[in-house]
Amino acid sequence: MSATRGHDVGASFAAPPVVATQTEIPRARAAVAPVVAFFVLAYALSWGWWVPLAVSGRLVERGDGWPSHIPGLLGPLIAALAVLALTEGRAGVRRWLADMVRWPRERRWRLAVVAPLGFLALGVLVVALTGDLPPAGDFIRYSGTGASVGALLVAVVVNGFGEEAGWRGYALPRLQARLGAMRATLVLAAAWTAWHAPLFVIVASFKGFGPLTRVGFFVGITAGALVLTSIYNGTGGSILAVAAWHATYNLAAATTAADGTIAAVTSACVIFWAISLVQRERAGRPALGGPRPAPRTPQR
C-alpha cells in the first residue's frame, strides 16, 4: 500500500534506521542452540496442553470457559523465561521483564499499538452500512473463556503476553542478529504458524476453516509477523507494545461478532500494512528495523 512520489502511507509506522547501539548484539543473542531450545520447549509446553484435549475429543467453544486452550498460550512465555534463566542468568531475565512493562515513548508507536481497534471500528462501520450489526453479546464471546468482559480481557492479555514475550521478546532479536529482520521474520512466521497446528483440531472456530481459509491464515500470520517486527524494533524492543497490539488484534478479529466482514476488514488492513513495509524494504528504505545480518567472512 503506497502513494506516489516515493511516500508510503505506512511510513509513519515504519521502524527507524538502526542506530549503533541496536546493532551491537551480544554473542549470546546470536547463538543457535538457545533459540532452538526455546522453540522446542515452547512447542512442548503448548502442545502438552493442547494434544491431550485433541486426543480426548474435547472441543473449545466461544463463550465457554471449559475446555480451554488458553493455558497452552503461555508456552512461549514460559519457554523464554526458562531458556533466559539458564543461558543469560538474572541479568537477561531482568532485561526481558523490563521490556514487558516499557511503554513506547513516541506517539506514532502508541497509535500503532492500538491500530487494530481502529480496524475494528472500520469493520463495524462497513457492517452497519451493508447489513445488520451483530448482537452486543457477540463482541465478548471468545474461544476458551466465559462470555463476560472480564474473562475476555484476561484471555486477550494472557494471549498477548503469553505469545509475544516468547516470539518477539525472545526469538526475534536472536534470529535477526544472524539473519536480518526480514528473513528472521519469515522464519518466525513459519514457526509461529506451525505452533498453531493443534488448534485446528481442538478450537471450534479454527476447525471450521476450509483449505482456502487455512492459506489465508498463513498469509495473515506472516503479515502480522511483519507488522510486529516493525513495532518491536521501532519501539526499541518493547514487549509491552507487541503484546498490546496482539491483544487488541484479537479483540478486533477473534470474537463471534468479528466472523465474516469485521475479521476480513481487520485482516485486510494488517495485510496492506505489511505490504507497505515490504515495499519500503525492497526500495532500500528500512521499515522493519533491527540489525542487518553480519557479512560472512570469505573462506580462503
Break the chain into its structural domains and give their ranges. Answer: 11-282
Angle subtended at Cα 193 by Cα 265 and Cα 239, rounded to the nearest 5 degrees? 80
Residue 60 main-chain phi, psi, to 5 deg = -85, 120
Question: Global pTM?
Answer: 0.88
pLDDT in tens, 30-55: 589 999 999 999 999 999 999 999 99
* Cell of residue 59, nine digits: 472441543
CA angle at 177 for the pair 280 and 78, rounded to the nearest 5°: 110
When mean pLDDT is compared across 109-118, 191-200, 204-213, the lowest value belongs to 204-213
242-292 pLDDT, tens digit each: 999 999 999 999 999 999 999 999 999 999 999 999 999 999 988 998 765
> How much is the average pLDDT of 127-155?
93
Which of 122, 102, 101, 103 is closest to 111 using CA atoms?
A: 103
At residue 9, the pLDDT reads 39
**For residue 17, pLDDT beyond 90:** no
For 242-252, give one letter per residue: b (16+ CB within 10 A) or e: bbbbbbbbbbb
Alpha carbons 223 and 53: distance in angstroms, whole number:
29
Q: What is the mean pLDDT of residues 132-158?
A: 94
